[in-house]
A = this chain, B = another copy of it.
């Protein structure tokens, strides 16, 4: 119930938000890299399909991760808050060497898991070194400040984005997904305009960041990540605009980073990937 704390001398597990629609068959680069990170042939992956309302989401990811070489994969349905407070089910989560949250609706994740034993177990696992990945809704939920929903368009407008508390593995970033595909720069800028302290990550589909314990991230997949850094913002009108009006925000730094490139959240320096 506070952003997950890492023991003195310990290392937080890598956090892997994925922009949705990740390749699962032809060139499953992101999911493969995640499995490797979790131990490869020794990986024990816990899948949390709670965001999805489809019955087969858990089973589908079980098959995918098995095909990618994981030793064991187990799906934790958590379809109610009572499920997420079940000692036994939650206890089994402790066996996982990696945790994966499916897509769907991020408000299903926050309303079903928020404050439960399951949420605490996820936070504790990550703080103890276990990598946690999420795709689409699962990606939005990983951070302390989650975009719950919003409108499309490149111009930020007052009221176009709704924030809610997320899982809180980090509060350094606010994640948006399906970024280019759904024209979401405006809502990400609006989210940052409220309080320009976090860094915005706009993730294209089939694109992920691998955010290490030292707060450096690397981009993987077939698209790009738009990093929106409000560190030098001189002015935001979010305190005075009326609903629906465009928000003025001055001095945002923006990077569009392709595969192999990266960004350091501490130094706020971006780097390009090697030229192919």
Report A's interface with B, CB cutoff 8 A.
Answer: 1-3, 8, 80-82, 105, 107-108, 110-112, 114-115, 119, 144-146, 148, 159, 162-166, 168, 170-172, 193-198, 230-231, 233-240
Picked from B3, B82, B171, the residue with its CB within 8 Å of the CB of A234 is B82
Contact of A1 among B163, B171, B236 (CB under 8 A): B171
Name the one of B1, B198, B237 contacting A165, with C-beta atoms under 8 angstroms.
B198
A111 touches B196 (CB 8 A): yes
Q: Is the CB of B81 within 8 A of A234?
A: yes
Cα(A2)–Cα(B233), bound, Å: 19
Contacts of A115 in B (CB 8 A): 195-198, 230-231, 233
Given A2-B171, A3-B3, A3-B171, A239 contacting B108 (CB threshold 8 A) = yes
Complex-state Cα separation, A145 to B170, whole angstroms = 14
Alpha-carbon separation in the docked complex, A231 to B200 (Å): 30
Contact of A239 among B1, B105, B145, B165 (CB under 8 A): B105
Q: Which of B8, B108, B197 contacts A114 (CB 8 A)?
A: B197
Question: Which one of B119, B148, B240 contacts A194 once the chains associate, using CB atoms below 8 Å?
Answer: B148
The reply to whether A194 and B165 contact each other, CB–CB distance below 8 Å, is yes
Cβ–Cβ < 8 Å partners of A114 in chain B: 194-197
Min CB gap A248→B, angstroms: 10
Report whether A197 and B8 are in contact in the complex, using a CB–CB cutoff of 8 Å: no
Residue of B nearest to A247 (CB): B111
Complex contacts, A3 vs chain B, CB 8 Å: 2-3, 171
- A144-B171, A162-B159, A239-B105 given as contacts; is B111 within 8 A of A194 (CB)? yes
Which of A148, A197, A231, A235 has the most CB atoms of chain B within a 10 A radius of its CB? Answer: A197
Contacting residues, chain B, for A165 (C-beta < 8 A): 145, 163, 171, 194-195, 197-198
